[in-house]
Every structure is written in structure tokens, then in C-alpha cells.
């Protein structure tokens, strides 16, 4: 997969490719990242990329031409068609289903805005999709683009060392098509001043462990993100697991 980033901060892109799963995906040739700086396509001695907003008001707006030229250069650098994504708080909220859709594409161009925004005409003409990573405002699209790159990179076949781990994460592809939060995880030591590892995980009983993990995932999702769970749509077995979890949970919270 190829991802092009249009950004005023090219160092940012080099950083992205230097670490972790994204770095490994690049090293393994599963992903290539390319940066395009609109300033390189700006005219005049000052290489201006922004100007004051018509109608007044604070801040600056990114101008059409430097962005359009940077996008044209990015598009022309590879023959496969580019899906252009603009990162902004006005976009549709990114979720794992959308990440899967993006990860299946051959090529993405991520457009990072700065200042108060980007001239609307450029967005109308060039952008296929506007995405937000959450209901808060960042000072530019770069961090949001990094989120997209990371989430997409780890879904490239061969990017993760344990092929299963992507599937087992929160929001991974659940066999029932459900999106559940992840279960809790523990490692050594078994006994610690902060608590003891749940016994079932030490039992070696794989069926019991799988059942416990599923129950924890259901219970946590119910308590923390009820919006993700439709109780009526659960299988009978899952509903029983959830009911047991909630009974224990309420029991544990009873005053002495």
C-alpha cells in the first residue's frame, strides 16, 4: 500500500516511518510513505501558503494553489488512483470499520490542514472523504493523519508479528460481527502488592480461559461503552455470560 501525506511539516512523516509497527511495515515493503510539502509548490519569495479569510475573523486559511499543486504532484507520482482524505473535526468520525475500508485500498492521500482551515473550493474539488479522529480540535491534521497511518499499517497482511493479534484487539473482526472492547491482560508476577492474577488464567484450561476472556470483553463493553452493545442481538450464550458478569459485578459493589 502507498500513502502520500500532504503537509507543511515533512519531518513529521519521517518520524512516523521511524518507529514501531509503521516502521516495520515500511521496512518490510508492505507500506510506502511519501511526503509533499505545499510550501515547495508556493509562489514568490515568501512561498506563501495561507492568507486572511474573506469576511474577516481571526486566523489564516490555506490557499488553493499550493495545495492543488502538491496534490497534483502526489497523484502523478504513481499510476494507481488515489483516494484523497482530508483530516478535520468536520469529518465523519473514524472507527475500525472505516479503518478496514481504508486499509483495503491500494493508495491513500492524506491532506493535513493547518491554521483555521483550507479554502473550501479546494476541498470540494479534490477531496473524496473528510475524516475526524474525535470530537476535539487539534492544531493541525498531522496527528490525525498519524493515527490513520498507524491504524491502517497494522492491518496490512504481515505487518504484525502475531497474525492473530489484530483480530483479538478491541474492535477487531469478531466472529459474530460484534465490536467488543478487549479483555484485561496480566503477566508475571502472579502475586503482587497491587493484586493477584485471576486464577482461571493460570489453569491451563483453554476453554475456560476463552470463556472468561469473552465474558470480560462483554462485561467491559457493557459497562464502559454500552453504545457498542445491543443486548438483544447477543447470542444466548453471550447473554448468559454477560448476566453472570453483571451479577458478580453488582455483588462485588455491595456495601459490607
Contact positions vs ligand ADE (CB under 6 A): 87-89, 132-134, 136-138, 141, 144
48 alpha carbon, distance to own chain's centre? 32
Of 134 and 226, CB closest to ligand ADE = 134
Three cell numbers, residue 121: 473550493
Measured from each CB, the residue nearest to ligand ADE is: 144
SS (H, E, C) 77-100: CCCCCCEEEEEEEEEEECCHHHHH
- Does the annotation mark 162 as catalytic? no
- Does the annotation mark 116 as catalytic? yes
- As a whole number of angstroms, the distance between CA 226 and CA 219 comes to 10
Catalytic one among 48, 65, 78, 89? 89
Give min distance, CB of 144 to ligand ADE, in A: 3
Of 88 and 221, CB closest to ligand ADE = 88
DSSP H helical ranges for the chain:
10-16, 20-27, 64-76, 96-103, 120-126, 142-153, 165-168, 206-224, 236-253
Q: What Rg, from alpha-carbon coordinates, does the chain have?
A: 23
Give min distance, CB of 33 to ligand ADE, in A: 18
Q: Which of 66, 61, 52, 76 is nearest to 6 (CA)?
A: 66
- Does the annotation mark 89 as catalytic? yes
Give min distance, CB of 181 to ligand ADE, in A: 22
Of 6 and 180, CB closest to ligand ADE = 6
- As a whole number of angstroms, the distance between CA 163 and CA 177 comes to 19
- As a whole number of angstroms, the distance between CA 171 and CA 177 comes to 10
Catalytic one among 40, 65, 95, 116? 116
Of 13 and 180, CB closest to ligand ADE = 13
Give min distance, CB of 117 to ligand ADE, in A: 9
Q: Which residues are catalytic?
A: 89, 116, 154, 169
Amino acid at each position: 500500500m502507498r500513502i502520500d501525506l500532504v503537509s507543511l511539516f515533512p519531518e513529521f512523516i519521517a518520524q512516523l516511518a521511524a518507529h514501531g509497527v509503521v516502521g516495520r511495515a515500511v521496512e518490510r515493503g508492505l507500506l510506502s510513505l511519501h511526503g509533499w510539502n505545499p510550501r515547495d509548490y508556493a509562489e514568490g519569495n515568501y512561498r506563501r501558503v495561507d492568507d486572511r479569510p474573506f469576511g474577516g475573523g481571526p486566523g489564516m486559511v490555506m490557499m488553493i494553489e499550493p495545495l492543488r499543486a502538491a496534490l497534483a504532484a502526489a497523484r502523478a507520482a504513481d499510476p494507481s488512483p488515489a483516494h484523497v482524505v482530508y483530516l478535520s473535526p468536520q469529518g465523519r468520525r473514524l472507527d475500525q470499520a472505516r479503518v478496514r475500508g481504508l486499509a483495503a485500498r491500494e493508495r491513500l492521500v492524506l491532506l493535513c490542514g493547518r491554521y483555521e482551515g483550507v479554502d473550501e473550493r479546494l476541498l470540494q474539488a479534490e477531496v473524496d472523504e473528510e475524516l475526524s479522529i474525535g470530537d476535539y480540535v487539534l492544531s493541525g491534521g498531522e496527528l490525525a493523519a498519524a493515527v490513520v497511518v498507524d491504524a491502517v499499517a497494522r492491518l496490512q497482511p504481515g505487518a504484525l508479528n502475531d497474525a492473530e493479534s489484530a483480530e483479538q484487539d478491541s474492535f477487531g473482526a469478531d466472529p459474530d460481527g460484534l465490536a467488543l472492547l478487549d479483555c484485561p491482560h496480566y503477566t508475571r508476577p502472579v502475586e503482587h502488592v497491587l493484586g493477584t492474577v485471576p486464577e482461571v488464567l493460570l489453569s491451563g484450561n483453554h476453554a475456560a480461559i476463552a470463556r472468561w476472556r469473552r465474558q470480560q470483553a462483554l462485561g467491559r463493553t457493557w459497562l464502559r461503552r454500552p453504545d457498542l452493545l445491543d443486548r438483544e442481538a447477543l447470542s444466548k450464550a453471550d447473554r448468559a455470560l454477560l448476566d453472570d458478569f453483571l451479577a458478580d459485578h453488582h455483588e462485588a459493589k455491595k456495601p459490607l
